Amino acid sequence: MPNKRTAFFISDGTGITAEALGRSLLAQFEAIQFEMITKPYVNTEEKALQLVALINQTCVDEQQRPLLIDTIVDQKIRRIINTSQALNIDVFSTFLAPLEEELQTHSTYSVGKNHALTKEKEDTYKARIDSVHFALDNDDGARTHHYDKADLILVGVSRCGKTPTCIYMALQFGIKAANYPITEDDLLDSELPKALRPYRHKLFGLTIEPERLASIRHERRPNSHYASLKVCQREVQEVESLYQRHNIDYIDSTHYSIEEISTRILAQAGIERRFRPSI
């Protein structure tokens, strides 16, 4: 089996759906390295012909068929695309045909339907912006007087992934997430930092393997006390003890992506998403 393949994600719209679904499917094949190429707005016959030429040349160069995952709606463009020397997975026909049969009605087959602006999407956009502003304004313990408005307060040692996780939850799910760094000084006290005590019910912790933490900190402050493995080991051990002492749920962020960390936190904390990410 070849260990490298080229995959094209194409659409006559944004390509977001084709790429999101395609990446999810290809992620199941860990032994294969994929070169992923996204081609949005293939909305003219000329563009379609140029793309077919690129796909066919890729087939010749690599001596194997590229993969092609598409959400093409326009049937003239689809017929052109279907002439390419690729394994073609047509997302819409794959899923819409059985749905049409079950629902006893025809799809509108509209380009960009999922991304059209509606009142609901305007409200979602505003919630997304408000949540991102909240995450940025309440990042790294800079402000604590808005914690009463937070859905979640993420705590952990410096550089364990709190900030990107909070921003991702805000952007994708509309969650108002603050984060507070647990410092060496905080760890000298067996109690929670004073700013966090009234909001114990909103706290969720992150931890990380000390070796990984030291590597991340070293990139920021090379050869510093802050980045030493000994300091990282002590901080991780003490912050986990703090979590256990105060019955704070936490997860290890070492081997998870930001997407996985965020989803696990919301599931474990029982927090409902305000909206779901569009694909």
Q: Report the binding-site residues for ADP.
A: 156-163
Which tokens hold the place of 40? 């949005």
Give the type of residue at 184. Answer: E
- Beta-strand pair 4-11/67-71: parallel
Residue list for the binding site: 156-163
203 is written with which tokens? 């706290």
Question: Under 8 Å CB-to-CB from 43, ≥6 apart: which residues?
Answer: 12, 13, 74, 77, 111
> Residue 250 and residue 268: Cα distance in Å, rounded?
9
- Pull the structure tokens for residue 174: 């509309």
* Whole-number Å distance between alpha carbons of 167 and 131: 8
Is residue 78 within 8 A of residue 72, CB to CB? The reply is: yes
CA neighbor of 37 nearest in space, from 60, 63, 67, 13? 67
Instruction: Determine the residue type at 230.
Output: K
**Distance separating alpha carbons of residues 43 and 3, to the nearest angstrom:** 32
Amino acid at 153: I
CA distance 79 to 84: 10
Which 3 state secondary structure label does DSSP give 31? coil
Q: Which two tokens stand for residue 68?
A: 């092609």
What tokens appear for 11 in the block? 């659409």
